[in-house]
Amino acid sequence: MILVTGATGNVGRHAVNLLVAEGAQVRAFVRNPAKASFPEGVEVVKGDLTDPSSLAAALEGVDRVLLIWPGFAAETAAKVVDLVAEHARGVVYLSANLPEDSTMFHKDVERLIQASPLEWTFLRPGGFASNTLGWAEQVREGTVRWVHGAAARSLIHEADIAAVAVKALLSDDLVGQAPVLSGPATITQAEQVRIIGSAVGREVRWEELPPEEAVAQMAAAWGDPVLAREAVSAWGSFVTAPEEVTDTVERLTGRPARSFAEWAADHAADFR
């Protein structure tokens, strides 16, 4: 039995579908079962990682866990990791490709898992293509106003992250490893907007936003000015040092990573 947390999210839902296609027993851990739509045979359990007490029952009989964290804080992570270690043999944690000295919560969760008896794999993707869905309203208006248009990122399709996760869940090949995942090429943020426009069939312009305005907007949305400033600074670094491109997806899954244009075509309806 494999437990998938965040099972209705961008990566989680793909992972559930792929696991079922491989014949695995799957239990989906979701906040709202009424909104969950999974293939036949998937067991759905209601719960939230911010309330670890809701996790215990979901872990009964589980061998491995795909751990996808809900949000930007990890106050309950120690309790969650302890519970997983009490029941499961291994965990595949959806982390991030961050510097070792990063203050992001992903590093805290990685350290907790490494200190546990769990067999672990950390997936470290760079930028998620799905994060550009945050531009949807602006795309509909015809102009995306954001920061660092020249930042070149190797955004990854969520289905490719899920495919690697399934590889790690169904074999021991990636135990103790932390593969860095990316899309197949770097594309500037301004070019991402153009590609999205092409996918939806209209011209969409890029308009540069001063970094301080971006920090203020993100701090208001996230409630964490330090995290907002770190994120904007990271985007700025991709102007002169483009985000890393790896061949990990193709090497581990046997098929090339999907391009950003493919992702935009898959999600065109979300921008219309």
162 inside domain: no
pLDDT of residue 186: 97
Q: Examine the domain organization and report whether 37 and 141 are in the same domain.
A: no
Q: What angle do CA 256, 129, 235 make, to 5 degrees?
A: 115
pLDDT of residue 101: 65
Q: Examine the domain organization and report whether 77 and 195 are in the same domain.
A: no
Q: Examine the domain organization and report whether 144 and 264 are in the same domain.
A: yes
pLDDT of residue 231: 86
45 inside domain: yes
Q: Examine the domain organization and report whether 133 and 23 are in the same domain.
A: no
Domain of 264, CATH number, reads 3.40.50.720
Let me know: does 248 contact 182? Beta carbons within 8 Å.
yes
92 inside domain: yes
Q: Examine the domain organization and report whether 78 and 148 are in the same domain.
A: no
Q: Examine the domain organization and report whether 68 and 149 are in the same domain.
A: no
Q: Output the furthest CA–CA distance in the chain (Å, rounded).
A: 53
Domain of 44 in residue numbering reads as 2-125
Q: DSSP secondary-structure letter at 156?
A: B
pLDDT of residue 96: 87
**pLDDT tens digits in sequence order for the chain, 272 residues long:** 999 999 999 999 999 999 999 999 999 999 989 888 999 999 999 999 988 889 998 999 999 999 998 766 678 899 999 999 999 999 999 998 876 766 578 888 999 999 999 999 999 999 999 999 999 999 999 999 999 999 999 999 999 999 999 999 999 999 999 999 999 999 999 999 999 999 999 999 999 999 999 999 999 988 889 888 988 998 899 999 999 999 999 999 999 999 999 999 999 999 99
Cα separation, 202 vs 240, in Å, equals 30
Q: Examine the domain organization and report whether 92 and 192 are in the same domain.
A: no
Q: Examine the domain organization and report whether 33 and 134 are in the same domain.
A: no
Q: Examine the domain organization and report whether 86 and 133 are in the same domain.
A: no
pLDDT of residue 206: 97
pLDDT of residue 269: 96
- Rg (C-alpha) for the chain, rounded Å, is 19
What is the number of domains present in the chain?
2
| Amino acid residing at 242 | P
Phi, psi of 124 (to 5 degrees): -120, 75
Residues 6+ apart with CB under 8 A from 96: 104, 106, 124, 125, 126
Q: Examine the domain organization and report whether 223 and 240 are in the same domain.
A: yes
Report the relative pairing of strands 26-30 and 2-5 from DSSP bridges: parallel
Q: Examine the domain organization and report whether 30 and 139 are in the same domain.
A: no
250 inside domain: no
Domain boundary among 77, 107, 125: 125
Q: Examine the domain organization and report whether 212 and 119 are in the same domain.
A: no
Q: 């102007």: which residue's tokens? A: 239
pLDDT of residue 72: 61
Cα separation, 156 vs 154, in Å, equals 6
Q: 């965990």: which residue's tokens? A: 91
114 inside domain: yes
252 inside domain: no
161 inside domain: no
